[in-house]
Each structure stands twice: as structure tokens, then as C-alpha cells.
Amino acid sequence: MPTPPPTSPTSSPSSSSTPPSSTPASTLPAASDAPVVPRYARSEAAFAQASQVLPGGVNSPVRAYQSVGRNPIFIARGHGSRVTDIDDHEYIDYVGSYGPLILGHAAETVVAAVHKAMARGASFGMPTEAETALARMVVDAVASIDVVRFVNSGTEAVMSTIRLARAATGKPRIIKCVGCYHGHTDALLVQAGSGATTLGVPSSPGVPDSITQHTALVPFNDLAAVEAVFAQHDDVAAMVIEPIAGNMGTIPPAEGYLQGLRELCDKHGALLVFDEVMTGFRVAYGCAQALYGVTPDLTCLGKIVGGGMPCAAYGGREDLMRQVAPDGPMYQAGTLSGNPVAMAAGLATLEALADSDQAVYARLEKQAARLETGLTEAAEASGVPLAVQRVGSMICPFFTDKPVRNYEDAISCDTQAFAAFFRKMLDLGIVLPPSQFETWFVSREHDDVAIDQTVSAAREALAELA
């Protein structure tokens, strides 16, 4: 049971709680114009330091908390379903590093495996059997993957997959959904979700039109729009999609949507690419493609496959993957790709998921359903409009009174209400992804105590919002 947070003030700087550091909070330099809150004195000081040497004080934009009206907390450590910040406040964590930590923070078997691998040497630039072992697990787990290549990030996996699709088909055009996020590769940083939408730059400067002229945009869950692109263009190499959209909040595919995409791609000689960087091993051991019974030609994986270490992958049909160098001409390489430490973390994670004989997924379903029910009931009790959407242990409460089926629906949500909710939940010891356009992640370690504490905090936060 975590130490209950001190009765926390609202986020005004005039709170009475004495900051743990000696520096009176009011003199701390706030890195942004957000109020400096004594309860978070050490994080505020750390953020000021970080902001001097890192863009936005962070190494990934969404972590900067710019859309939730305060400065970020800095984390000291994590264990199970919880993290502790450098002001020594403990939180139940639903960020989960944005997906990799399905086993919870510092899972014993993962930590031990990484220590053991590290002690034998971090990286060799020469093959190791650990790469084959993890590749074999991926191939055995995902029916559509005959051959797989490891890379270092989801962005790299998607970037490589697009190159392969274009090489294999000889066609340049890629179809993507507005609001889906596939990492920051130029060709897909167009109307992207996640941090790009959160910060209001869904199409980044610095990406020449010559790169994105071959990127066609369609709304998520809209088959007719995809059919229209095929009717207009005969040069489509692939449709790249998150089978469950997790980067505009959590939006499930409409009934028949994914199967419809499969049929359209077959009809028009294009490849179907599932970007399962987030959904891979998250919603089922066979990934979302097993859950929905739709077979892509190529799949991108990340997050869970690396167990929290920098590791991602792309794979699929043998005839396609054998075109990747050095089997074939499509070039892709990486110094740390498949490094033994990341392989060890991935192996330990997948072994825990595979050995459970689906028991982990049954537990994740039960706990996430408990959270969904609790949030829904808390919203009903407060009268605050909330649409809670969930697939397995991916969940997102949208501040709106209607279902969210696509990007237009998502951006019509009350992001100010979300920001206020976020800040209150943080003060109550629950840390959420700092954006309405992100998915919350439930881990194996989120037990009834954690879920019920979260629901109780949500009840209080929503009542304050009402």
C-alpha cells in the first residue's frame, strides 16, 4: 500500500506543505511559466536543470507535460505497478513507458536476465544466439511472421517496413490514417497522433513536400476513403495502420474494418502493414492480428518485444523479408540492432507472457475491465461526460459524451478538462500519460488495490471537475 500522498494542495504555489529540499520552492526557477508547486520541489529544480541542456527538458516531447499545464515529475525508481518521483512521492503508474512494461516495473526475471547479459558484454557487432532465440519466439507467436529483423525503435521498424514495401512493389505511395502515429519517420509525420497532435504539430516542419507527396491520408475506421485513394492512384505500395489506434487515445477498429482493408489491399495489389509497436503482445500473445483474425503482409513490433530496452522489429511473409539485405537488395542496418542485452529483456518478457498460457492476458483483461467499470461509474456519479474506451489492457477515458471513432472525434474532446483531471490525479498519487491523445496501460502488477485506489482518486478528481 503506497504511503498516502500528503494532503496535497491544488497546483497553486501557495501550498503549505514544506518542500523536502532546503531551497524555498518559491525561489525555484520554473522552467516554463507553469506554477512551481512545493510538493514537487526537487522535480521542479531538476526540470529547470534539464531544460538548460535538453529541448523542452526532455528526450521525447510528450513527457514535457506542456499540454497539462504544469512541469513534469522526475522519476527516481519504479517497481511493479508503481513509480516514485525524486520528491519521494509514490504513484500508481499508467504510463508504463507507453507500453513496454506489461510485466510492471523492474520485473525480477527481466532485471536478472539483463544483468546476466550485460556482464557478458553489451554488444559485439557480431551475431549472438540470443537474437535467434527471440526471433524464433516472435515467429512462433505471430502467424503472419515467417522472418523478422530486429531494430532499435518503433520508428526504425516502421521506416524500414515502408522502404521494404516500396522496394517489393516498386510503388511509392503509402496510405496512413489521420491521427495514427508510426514514430517520427518523415513519410508518416503527417497528421500524426500522439505527441505530434498533443503539441499541435501533427505535420512537422522540416519534412519536404517531396517526401510526403506520396503519403495519402484517410480517416481511421473509414473504408470508403481508402477505396477512394485506390480509385485515384494505382501506385499504392502499402496501407500502414495501427490495428487498434492507440495514439489518439484508444480507438478500436470498427466491425469489419480491418478485414475490409485486407480485401482492398489484395484487390489493388498493395501490402497491408500492421503497426503493432503498441498492440504487439499487448492485447494478445499473437498480437492484434490474432485478436481480430486479420493477416497483414508485414508487421512492425516494438515496446513489449524489448521488455523496456531499446528494441523493435519488423517481419512478415518470407518472400518479402528475403528482400532485406543481405539476403536481398533492400538495405537496412544498425549498430545495436539485436544487441544481447535488449534480446535478454525481450526473451524474459515474452517467456513470462508465453509460459503463462494466456493467464497473464486473462488477468490483464480482468483488471482493466475493473478499471473501466470504476471510471465509468465515477463519471456517472459526477455527471462529467466521459467515454471510456478499452481493448484489453489498453484503455482511455475521453472527455466527451459520445463514442470516439476517429481523429475528428478525438480532437473534439475537452482537453482542458483532461488537463485538470490529470493534475488532480497526480496530486492524488496516480500518474497518467499527460495527454488526452494517449493510451493508459494496465500491467500484470496492477492488482485490485491499485485499481480501486485509482477509481477512488478518479471519483474525487471528477467530482472536483463537475
Summarize as ranges the residues that interact with ligand KE4 (CB under 6 A). Answer: 60, 62, 98, 153-155, 158, 181-183, 194-195, 242, 246-247, 275, 277-278, 302, 312, 438
**Residue 310 DSSP one-character state:** S
Nearest to ligand KE4 of 23, 60 (CB atom): 60
C-alpha cell at 315: 517481419
For residue 72, the minimal CB distance to ligand KE4 (Å) is 12
String of DSSP letters for 9-64: --S-TT--SPPSSSS-GGGS--SSSSPP-GGGHHHHHHHHHHHHHSGGGSSSGGGG
Could you confirm whether 275 is annotated as catalytic? yes
For residue 241, the minimal CB distance to ligand KE4 (Å) is 9
Question: Distance of CA 370 to CAs 109, 266, 387, 393, 395, Å?
Answer: 27, 40, 15, 11, 11
For residue 158, the minimal CB distance to ligand KE4 (Å) is 6
For residue 459, the minimal CB distance to ligand KE4 (Å) is 27
Nearest to ligand KE4 of 38, 195 (CB atom): 195
Nearest to ligand KE4 of 38, 179 (CB atom): 179
C-alpha cell at 131: 537474437
Nearest to ligand KE4 of 98, 361 (CB atom): 98
For residue 150, the minimal CB distance to ligand KE4 (Å) is 13
For residue 246, the minimal CB distance to ligand KE4 (Å) is 6
Nearest to ligand KE4 of 156, 445 (CB atom): 156
For CA atoms 195, 200, 206, 208, give the dihedral sign: positive
φ/ψ of residue 272, rounded to 5: -105, 120
- Laid out side by side, the sheet with 236-241 consists of 147-151, 312-316, 298-301, 271-276, 236-241, 173-177, 215-218
Question: Distance of CA 261 to CAs 229, 264, 287, Å?
Answer: 12, 5, 17
φ/ψ of residue 384, rounded to 5: -80, 125
Nearest to ligand KE4 of 19, 397 (CB atom): 397
For residue 180, the minimal CB distance to ligand KE4 (Å) is 7
Provide the strand spans (E) within 219-311: 236-241, 271-276, 298-301
Question: Distance of CA 213 to CAs 121, 207, 209, 341, Å?
Answer: 44, 10, 6, 39
Chain Cα centroid distance, residue 342? 18
Nearest to ligand KE4 of 247, 443 (CB atom): 247
3-class DSSP state of 335: coil
C-alpha cell at 403: 463514442
Could you confirm whether 366 is annotated as catalytic? no
Nearest to ligand KE4 of 247, 289 (CB atom): 247
The DSSP H or E segment spanning 226 is helix 223-232
Measured at CB, which residue is nearest to ligand KE4? 154
Nearest to ligand KE4 of 193, 340 (CB atom): 193
- Residue 210 CB neighbours (<10 A): 8
3-class DSSP state of 142: coil
For residue 464, the minimal CB distance to ligand KE4 (Å) is 27
Give the active site residue among 40, 181, 257, 407. Answer: 181
**Residue 254 DSSP one-character state:** P
Give the active site residue among 85, 303, 414, 427. Answer: 303
- Cell numbers 527538458 correspond to 57
- Determine the Cα–Cα distance for residues 315 and 296; give it in Å rounded to an integer: 10
Q: Tell me which residue of 227, 232, 229 sits closest to 260, measured CA to CA.
A: 227
CB 399 within 8 A of CB 415: yes
For residue 99, the minimal CB distance to ligand KE4 (Å) is 7
Catalytic residue positions?
Answer: 181, 275, 303
